[in-house]
Amino acid sequence: MDADPWATGRRRTPSGDGAAGPGGPDPWQHWRRLRPRSVRGASGLGILGAAVLLFPFLDDPDRWWVPVGLGFGTLVLLALLRLDRLLNGWAPHVAGLVLVGALVQGTARNPWAWGLATAAGVVVAGLLLLPRWKVLAAGAVLLVLAGIGYTFRSVELDREQARVDAQAGAQMRTELGVDRPQLALVALDSGVVGGNPARVCRLAQDAAIAQLRTATGAATCEDAVAVLHTRVPAGAEVTTPDRRPDPDVPPGGTTTVDACATPWGTAAGPAMGRVELTRTDAATPTYQVSAFTPC
């Protein structure tokens, strides 16, 4: 019986060269030399391939050390308990399975990554069986299907994350504001003079942000503030709030402050020089920018 289980039908010549048959030398001879010679080697290669493929798809790439630590810890534990002897050389494979399991758990947001890993394993098996192409072809089809599924699921996850971020931003703005209308001018001025979008964007409600984006042609509030920052004259100073009594505004009511002569009004233009503030329904007076009106 031929000692090479992969070389069915192959005969050996006196020089040791394989032959595909009476027709001549075996064209796959050199490839067969690269194949693992045991089930243990083939299994280890498959586990390694699955792990390498799953790493780039981790939900949190910064925590790559968690699955690595679990796999290495399993290997150390097996050695300390002397179980590696009972496993008869399979201890690294057990640790590898723990590593792959942890990677699968770390890609739970997009389970199609598991399909990619499975397809990669089939492709590896197909390569080991060459010149038998059927397994390799099946693996390639699975790889394409899993890749398409992964792409569509990634788009869905990005949309979900965008909705979550938008809701979080809206919730943050409802909790932020200034306790005096005049301080809104300070926040707007310091935001455009210092190029600090957070001072403006966290104070403005969605309607005001939409006005700001339209007026500057920017895609986001942060980009709009960056545009206004370029329009601020050199040497502009942040407005100092006056000491006039604050107006009595009920929760949900509005008041307007004049910012036409401030750095904000200079950068944003006369169309947005007056700032409408709405008092949020809170125990203490808190004002947010709800709209901009012309000077």
Which residue ranges make up each domain of the chain? 11-157, 177-293
Q: Does 131 sit behind a cis peptide bond, omega within 30 degrees of 0 on the bond before it?
A: yes
More reliable by pLDDT, 240 or 207: 207
Using DSSP's 3-state secondary structure scheme, residue 110 falls into: coil
What is the spatial distance between Cα 126 and Cα 118, in angstroms, rounded to a whole number? 12
Q: Do residues 205 and 266 make contact, with C-beta atoms less than 8 angstroms apart?
A: no
What is the spatial distance between Cα 90 and Cα 92, in angstroms, rounded to a whole number? 6
pLDDT digit string, tens, across residues 1-47: 444 444 444 444 444 444 444 555 666 666 566 666 677 777 787 78
Residue 276 confidence class, pLDDT cut points 50, 70, 90: very high
**What is the rounded average pLDDT for all residues in the chain?**
77
Give the burial class of 192: count Cβ atoms within 10 A of its Cβ; 0-12 exposed, 13-18 middle, 19 or more buried.
buried
Given this model, what pLDDT does residue 26 score?
A: 61
More reliable by pLDDT, 79 or 113: 79
Which residue in 101, 89, 3, 74 sits closest to 41, CA to CA? 89
DSSP 217: T
Q: What are phi and psi of 23, to 5 degrees?
A: -75, -20
